[in-house]
Structure 1
Amino acid sequence: MEIVYSDEKLVTYLETAVEVDPERPVLVDKYLSDAIEIDIDALADSHGNVVIGGIMEHIEQAGVHSGDSACTIPTKTVSPSCLETIRSWTTKLAKRLKVCGLMNCQYAITSSGEVFLLEANPRASRTVPFVSKAIGHPLAKYAALVMSGKSLYDLNFTKEVIPRHISVKEAVLSFEKFQGTDVLLGPEMRSTGEVMGISYDFSIAFAKAQIAAGEKLPLSGTLFLSLNDLTKTHLATIARAFVGIGFRIVATSGTGRVLELEGIHVDRILKVHEGRPHASDMIANGQIQLMVITSSGDELDQIDGRKLRRMALAYKIPVITTVAGALATAEAIKSLKRNKIEMLALQDYFNLGEDIESTKKSQSVSSLY
């Protein structure tokens, strides 16, 4: 799979990436730009009862494979009306499909608040273990019991559980083990595992998940910032977030010009093909501690951009390739500078009275984070 933004890119993809003939059709879908993706796991019994197990908001935008995207329970930015639509559609789907056991659905929510159903799978998903730990209920065990004839009432699992704590799932990406592989995230899954961070604060939960995934977040230093034309509208927001926590910004001419027009101080550096010193030299000299890069996907990026990202990987410099990931990282670093990470046993999050098992309350809780 690949996301293409022009006719030229589509032609290149068809000529180099796939073999096209009547027995190998190519499916072309419309891509929803700047949309939030939602994963939801639900459980249904043979009596027509349906309970939402968990609603996960992806931190990376729609278009990044769900297995590679970090996600959070409860949701962080989704409106109560969108959550109600998602719950309603999922329940109706499970009943109409006569699901007995687990079902996973994926949705996308546009910036205007329109909800799209991407897919519905009447089976268990890779997110079930994460959701089970986040809500304190063994969904796989429940699914086996309802498939053997038990009802959800027999299991005393009749309402969606909305935990007060925040659980963040993060993908483990082993790019360094595969020579020449680009670190960009896209519609094809690259992760080799998953980790989880829990806290009562989203930014700390996200930071814990990053640490567990082997990502060492710098608390200060220099950020290399390079966004493509499609994401440049978020440039100032990202830059201000990192400047606000003490980072110096370096960028090439195009990105630097946009930041200067926004009144943000930036130190300009040369692109790799423009001469030296450039970003690769700064990486080798230990002058860059963090990189935020969204790929343009053009021919130059496939050469210079890939080389730069691979070099950062070799020097163990964190490379963030999505806007949402950059903002979440800035939030996490800010919290790490102010707070000490506290480790609690998973059971400590599920003391009596800890969970709020009301759909109505879940909407207000979700809007708080």
Structure 2
Amino acid sequence: YIAAKLALGYKLPELINGVTGITTAHFEPSLDYIVVKVPRWDFDKFPGAEPVIGTEMRSIGEVMAIGRCFEEALQKALRMLDIGADGLVANAWDREPKPVDELRRELEVPRPYRVFAIAGALKAGVPADEIAELTGIDTWYIYKIANIVEMERRLRSLKRLDDSTAELIREAKRLGFSDRQIARCLGISDDKVRAYRKRLGITPAVKIIDTLAAEWPSKTKYLYVTYGGSSHDVEPSSKSIVVLGAGVFRIGVSVEFDWSVVQLTWALKRMNAGEVIVVNYNPETVSTDWDIADRLYFEELTLERVLDIYEFEKPEGVVACVGGQIANNLAPLLERRGVRLLGPSGLAVETAEDRRKFSALLDSLGIPQPPWAELEKWEEVVEFCRKVGYPVIVRPSFVLSGTAMRVVRSERELFEYLSEVSKKPRLRSLVVSKFVEKAREVEVDCVSDGEHVLIGAVIEHLEPVGVHSGDATMVIPSFSLSEEVLDKIRRYTLDICRALGARGPANIQFLVKDGEAYVIECNLRASRSMPFVSKVKGVNLMEHVARAILGGKLELPSAVYEPPADRWGVKTPQFSWSRLRGAHPLLGVEMRSTGEVAAVGRSLYDALLKSWLAAQPNRLPEPGSSVLLVSGGGDHQQDLIAELARELGELGYKVLVLEPIPGDGRLLAEAEKAVAEGKVSMVVALGDDYRLRRACADYMVPLVLDGELARHLVQAIRLVANGMELSVEPL
């Protein structure tokens, strides 16, 4: 809080340095470590976006790595990005070297993760000075990268690991090589490399982040792990719990998971569960602030590093269920290596995540699910689609935020999709599910102690099925489901949690059609919507998670219980179309929003309008201004457009209805021009009209991409016109 105190009039010599607790804040830092911060980009989520970086920020998140040399910190940072990299070199995708001319072209244009092209060029024999000339990057960095490339060459030349190779492996670890990179160079398993290191005493040191280079004793709780030290700066905690954080922000993972980590940390401390140790590496988060945890490891969330910390600290257990998918994926791996998990077991996580096992569980419970199959051969995929009928949802197995997921409506579209995904590395199988059209999508955020379930909320999506949950408008409580269906959803939730032996947070997603609820998936971890649910309902779900993972029982009036909602809550996605030049603004099963906003209100429309207006660039159209409605064809859409046009006309707006004629782009061109000239105050676009949608993004015109959302917004605007005031009340 130095800046705040300076603003109040204090002088630097009057303030105590929080790192030492003895000296003043009037000093020049002297560091014995190096920090590397790398942005995370997700251009592949946005069709049409130009994957070029420049003076305008386009990254989604960032990571921060700490080491004793640049090489170590750089390789740690690249692992932290969660893009499938095990470091700078020796990655799974390093099979076929690229032609030198192609590498030179990659070096000339500043694109995301160009550092991998630099390493590739060095391997191909391109001189460091030429790389510096092509990239504009100082040669100091190029030579540091060359050190990593040279170490990879030396590792690949080894025939085996024995006592004679100890110093080389020690130097490789000092340069930031992971066990997996070393294992890949030698063609052996990660576990064999780890066992070899431990036998020869090649283990990392735990260091304090010291801004005084040991000139004064450092009292900070910030720690990092490095192979650039010979001794530990701290002693292990006497009694502790390790909480794994969420890592890098990216599409699908943002501050919502950090909220869960922080709230759980505070809850555990209130329950006197011992020292709480957080492992995270995201400098944007609250969990990496000074005063949140008893200890913070600013470190990788990899199996190797979590095991290093676990073996040093010897905690009571590790919590992997609140940090999102990175932490959740580690749970089964940690459990198999003897780590005690607090929360759902690794076996339970694996059962929920493995589509075959979870489907068998649902069948044994008599819970309906859409027809599906996990298939490896393309001909099997085609045969299954013909059997269940189109449309279907196709995706690679084990995905987050809908990566490479698509709704396929014909065999031609299926072959196009198969052609695209066949180019992706590490693709083993595809999951194909029947797409249930005209269904409602619903999800449940809950906490279980294995026998009882506290349902935070049954959340209904305003948009119909087919829009990713991260891009959907979420509503609490349900606005269209019958009490019979809601009871069925609650009962299914209880049955699933009991069958899995779930202990901690869970999120279960449903489809509802014709009075039946179908289960789509279950995640035994905190979800994106848990902060929203907790704030709308006034029930901090992480308090109950803390009790459950420590072995306590949930005190509920019945086996499954949902507290009533005394107000409405609506969560609206925030998109960044204007930041991503060329990106196609569209909704689908793959998530594309970069944030979210929420509001509570006395009614659905009160909360909806406040929430929608909080997202940029949304604003109410001025009375008498023009609203453009664009149909995508089909009787249902035409009826909806006619209904919207009539109601907006009654409210005094000038309504322009556009039904594009195939092969004739004149009408769309005129509409695009009107948007550019500021003659349109809002656009409802239900067709595939890229240029018009792009114009709305470029000129910051409110753009509505779903018919159901448009219908509800028009109703909200009507209520405001008739005198409804937007409520302002204390939470």
Is the Cα–Cα contact under 8 Å of residues 452 and 559 in structure 2 kept in the other structure? no
C-alpha change, 1:271 and 1:207, in structure 2 (3 Å) is: farther
In structure 1, the residue matched to 2:415 is 11
Which position in structure 2 is the counterpart of 1:287? 679
Once the 2 structures are TM-superposed, how far is the Cα of residue 20 of structure 1 from its aligned partner?
7.2
Show the counterpart of 2:724: 339
Change (3 A) 1:227 1:11: farther
Aligned residues: 322
Please say if residues 490 and 560 of structure 2, whose CA atoms lie closer than 8 Å, have aligned partners that are also in contact: no
| Contact 1:37–1:108 (8 Å) recurs in 2 | yes
Distance between the aligned counterparts of 1:156 and 1:30, measured in 2?
35
The 1-side partners of 2:436 and 2:586 are apart by: 19
Residue 265 of structure 1 is matched in structure 2 by: none
User: What is the CA deviation profile of residues 134-174 of structure 1, one whole-angstrom value per residue up to 9, with x for unaligned ones?
Assistant: 11111012101211022111999973111221011111111
- Of 478, 486, 491 in structure 2, the residue corresponding to residue 83 of structure 1 is 486
Cα separation, partners in 2 of 1:225 and 1:107, compared to 1, 3 Å: same
**Aligned mate of 2:627, from 223, 235, 258:** 223
Conserved 8 A contact 1:195-1:213:
yes
CA deviations 1:95-119 (Å, max 9, x no partner) are: 1111111111111112x23321111
Specify the SS of the correspondent of 1:308.
Answer: helix
What SS does the aligned partner of 1:108 have?
Answer: strand
* Aligned CA distance change for structure 1 residues 203 and 15 (closer, same or farther; 3 Å): same
Q: Secondary structure at the match of 2:640?
A: helix
What is the CA distance between 1:276 and its match in structure 2?
8.4
State whether residues 631 and 658 of structure 2, in contact with CA within 8 Å, keep that contact through their aligned partners in structure 1: no
Structure 1 residues 271 and 329: CA distance shift in structure 2, 3 A? farther
Pairing 1:74-223 to 2, within 5 Å after superposition: 74-110=477-513, 112-153=514-555, 159-214=561-616, 215-220=618-623, 221-223=625-627
Matched, 1:323 2:323: no
> 1:152-201: CA deviations, max 9, x gaps?
11999973111221011111111111111111111111122221111111
Quick check: 1:273 aligned with 2:658? no
Match of 1:163, SS state, is coil
Contact map agreement 1:38 1:107 (CA 8 A) in 2: yes
Which moved further from structure 2: 198-207 or 336-345? 336-345
Cα deviations across residues 313-365 of structure 1 (Å, max 9, x unaligned)? Answer: 1221111111111112112222333233232221xxxxxxxxxxxxxxxxxxx
Higher relative contact order at CA 8 Å, sep ≥6: structure 1 or structure 2?
Answer: 1
Q: What are the within-5 Å matches in structure 2 for residues 256-267 of structure 1?
A: none
Question: Is 1:250 paired with 2:642?
Answer: no
SS class of match (1:240): helix
Q: Secondary structure at the match of 2:570?
A: strand
- Residues 327, 249 of structure 1: alpha-carbon distance in 2 compared, 3 angstrom cutoff: same
1:162–1:206 Cα change, 3 Å: same
1:274 partner amino acid: R
- The separation in 1 between residues aligned to 2:425 and 2:698, in whole angstroms, is 40
For residues 285 and 42 of structure 1, do their structure 2 counterparts lie closer, same or farther at Cα, with a shift above 3 Å needed?
Answer: same
- 3-state secondary structure, aligned to 2:460: strand
Residues 72, 322 of structure 1: CA spacing in aligned structure 2 closer, same or farther, 3 A cutoff? same
Greater CA radius of gyration, 1 or 2? Answer: 2
Unaligned runs of 5+ in 1: 256-269, 296-300, 347-369
| CA shift for structure 1 position 88 | 0.8
**1:239 is the counterpart of 2:642:** no
- Given that 1:14 and 1:20 are in contact with CA atoms closer than 8 Å, whether structure 2 keeps it comes out as no
Aligned residue type for 1:288:
V
Whether the 8 Å contact between 1:222 and 1:288 is mirrored in structure 2 is yes
The secondary structure found in structure 2 opposite 1:67 is helix
Deviations 1:203-242, CA, capped at 9 Å, x for gaps: 1101110122222121432222223235425333333332
Identity of aligned residues (%): 30
Pick which of 228-237 and 162-171 moved more: 228-237
Q: Indicate how the Cα distance of structure 1 residues 238 and 148 shifts in structure 2: closer, same or farther if over 3 A, else same.
A: same
Distance change >3 Å, CA 149–CA 190, structure 1 → 2: same
Q: Please list every run of 5 or more consecutive structure 2 residues that lacks an aligned counterpart in the other structure.
A: 1-404
Match of 1:52 in 2: 455
CA contact (8 A) 1:294 1:322 kept: yes
State the Cα distance separating 1:24 from its structure 2 match: 3.4
Per the alignment, do residues 141 and 184 of structure 1 end up closer, same or farther by CA in structure 2, a change over 3 Å counting?
same
> In structure 2, what is the equivalent of residue 353 of structure 1?
none
Structure 1 segments, 4+ long, off by >4 Å, are 20-23, 154-158
Deviation of the 1:50 alpha carbon: 1.5
Find the aligned partners of 1:310 and 1:34 in 2 and give their Cα distance: 28
Structure 1 position 59, deviation (Å): 0.8
Report the 3-state secondary structure (helix = DSSP H, G, I; strand = E; otherwise coil) of the residue aligned with 1:109.
strand
Q: In the superposition, relative to structure 1, how do residues 289 and 18 fare at CA in structure 2: closer, same or farther (>3 Å)?
A: farther
Instruction: Please report how far the alpha carbon of residue 53 of structure 1 lies from its aligned counterpart in structure 2 after TM superposition.
Output: 1.3
Secondary structure of the 1:8 match is helix
Letter in 2 for 1:281: K
The residue identity in structure 1 corresponding to 2:581 is Q
- Partners of 1:274 and 1:204 in 2: CA distance: 39
Give the residue type in structure 1 aligned to 2:725.
K
| CA positional deviation for 1:40 | 0.6
**Distance apart, 1:22 and its partner CA:** 9.8
Equivalent residues of 1:170, 1:213 under 8 A apart? yes
Please give the per-residue CA displacement for 1:41-70, whole angstroms capped at 9, x wherever unaligned: 121114x11221111110111111101111
Distance 1:42 1:277 in 2: 49
Alpha-carbon distance change, 81 to 180 in structure 1, aligned in 2, over 3 angstroms: same
Change (3 A) 1:80 1:14: same
| One-letter amino acid of the structure 2 residue matched with residue 290 of structure 1 | M
- In the alignment, the residues of structure 2 paired with residue 38 and residue 30 of structure 1 have an alpha-carbon distance, to the nearest angstrom, of 17
**Alignment of 1:72 onto 2:475:** yes
Q: Counterpart in 1 of 2:439? A: 35
Question: 1:280-327: CA deviations, max 9, x gaps?
Answer: 1221232221111123xxxxx4xxx21110101122111111111111
C-alpha distance in 2 between matches for 1:3 and 1:45: 36
Residue 199 of structure 1 contacts residue 205 of structure 1 at CA under 8 Å; is this kept in 2? Answer: yes
SS of the aligned residue for 2:654 comes to strand
Q: Secondary structure at the match of 1:33?
A: coil
Amino acid at match of 2:480: T
Q: Which secondary structure does the structure 2 equivalent of 1:194 belong to?
A: strand
Q: TM-score, normalised by structure 2?
A: 0.42
